[in-house]
């Protein structure tokens, strides 16, 4: 029996948040390393999961396609589709004279956001498990 698409999406999102937590922890650990650039993790692409769950009669959902202009690249935008999941963090507020751009306050805010999202996903997973158990008549 295969997993429901919702449960699969929750698991993918939780794994992504776990990896993102590791990357943010690395940023904090290197906050005093000269020249270190803060990193972040790309959000998972759920369009494949959505496409797989839609029937032929349902409308299709796909990621928007954007052509990068030289002006957008000058602002730091990068093409999407790089195989690398770790990217340079674009949400930086300052760069120190030694080239390090890790701001502890920003990184701690991101950690709090990750924790809140992970907790919400874990709660959704437990509720979904409870619903499925009730549906098949198993007491939890």
For the chain, the structural domain boundaries read 5-136
The rounded distance, in Å, linking the Cα atoms of 96 and 56 is 53
Pairing between β-strand 39-41 and β-strand 86-88 as defined by DSSP bridges: antiparallel
Query: For the residues 2-7, what does the mean pLDDT come to?
Result: 74
Dump pLDDT digits (tens) for 13-54: 999 999 999 999 999 999 999 999 999 988 887 776 666 666
Residue 76 pLDDT? 63
- Residue 119: alpha-carbon gap to chain centroid: 14
């Amino acid at each position: 029996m295969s997993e429901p698409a919702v449960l699969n999406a929750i698991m993918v999102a939780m794994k992504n948040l776990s990896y993102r937590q590791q990357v943010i922890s690395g940023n904090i650990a290197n906050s005093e390393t000269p020249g270190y650039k803060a990193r972040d993790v790309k959000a998972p692409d759920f369009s494949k999961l959505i496409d797989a769950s839609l029937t032929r009669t349902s409308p299709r959902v796909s990621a928007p396609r954007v052509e990068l202009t030289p002006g957008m690249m000058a602002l730091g935008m990068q093409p999407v589709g790089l195989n690398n999941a770790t990217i340079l963090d674009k949400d930086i507020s300052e760069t120190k004279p030694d080239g390090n751009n890790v701001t502890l306050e920003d990184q701690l805010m991101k950690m709090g956001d990750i924790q809140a999202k992970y907790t919400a996903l874990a709660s959704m997973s437990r509720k979904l498990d409870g619903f499925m158990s009730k549906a098949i008549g198993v007491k939890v």
